[in-house]
Copies of this chain bind each other. A is one copy, B any other.
Amino acid sequence: MNLILLFEADFSAPATGAAGGRVCLEGRRASYIASVHRAQPGDRLQVGLVGGRIGEGEVVSVAGDRVELDVQLDREPPAPLPLTLVLALPRPLVLKRVLIAATSLGCKRIYLIQSRRVERSFWNSKVLRGDALDEPLILGLEQAVDTVMPRVELRTRFKPFVEDELPGLIAGGQAFVAHPEADAPCPRDVKEPTTLVVGPEGGFVPYEIEKLEAAGCRGVGLGERILRVETALAVLLARMF
């Protein structure tokens, strides 16, 4: 937790925390401050308001599972990537790691989609239910010292998404689909808005690649090695941006 992520509801005064104020934390964040940071009154911690600015919180009190901070928010969060990430839904165990990694790398718009090699049961994952989906996103922001939550959209049907929605997402930018058989190397130093589509373990089936190419995606490869989704994602984004 390189940043303590704050929410409007944490602020007691003033009621809106855009520039700072007094916050009172309980639960996970308070335990972390007390037991990992071992914070004492007067210590200063890096904090940020969700969707807003970053700054410092001075510890006012630490009592049991309750921590009070005086917060000053004085700088903008890091720039987001100019990216829309479209990801075949990974296995539940992998999904959480991938969302943390994608968020920490600066992805702000993530579509999780069905594909032939995605087991239907993956859509029942607890990670996708209600507020649970926020958890890996918050962990990613806390890791990377960022405040802007990614927007995650779920699309449980491949064809309507790729035919009807994807062309609109790509419009005005460029789009790539990463798959092992593609010959073209990953582009470097991309500046314009980009859509990146990443397949499931085992890759997209040929029909899906055709559909994605018809929607405007160019195939890019990563060389001989087959990487875990979260590793491949870090490699692709590091090369592209």
Contacts and interface: CB of A to CB of B under 8 A. Distances in A.
A224 interface: yes
A101 B234 CA distance: 11
Interface stretch (A138-146, A167-175, A190-198): A138-146
Interface in A65-88: 78
B78 A228 contact: no
Interface of A: 2, 78, 100-101, 104-106, 143-146, 188, 223-228, 230-231, 234-239
Contacts of A100: 228
A232 B201 CA distance: 22
A106 B143 contact: no
A108 to B, nearest CB: 13
Contact of A226 (B101, B144, B236, B238): B144
Contacts of A2: 226
A81 to B, nearest CB: 10
B228 A231 contact: no
A143 B101 contact: no
Nearest to A188: B188
B146 A101 contact: no
B239 A104 contact: no
Contacts of A101: 228, 231
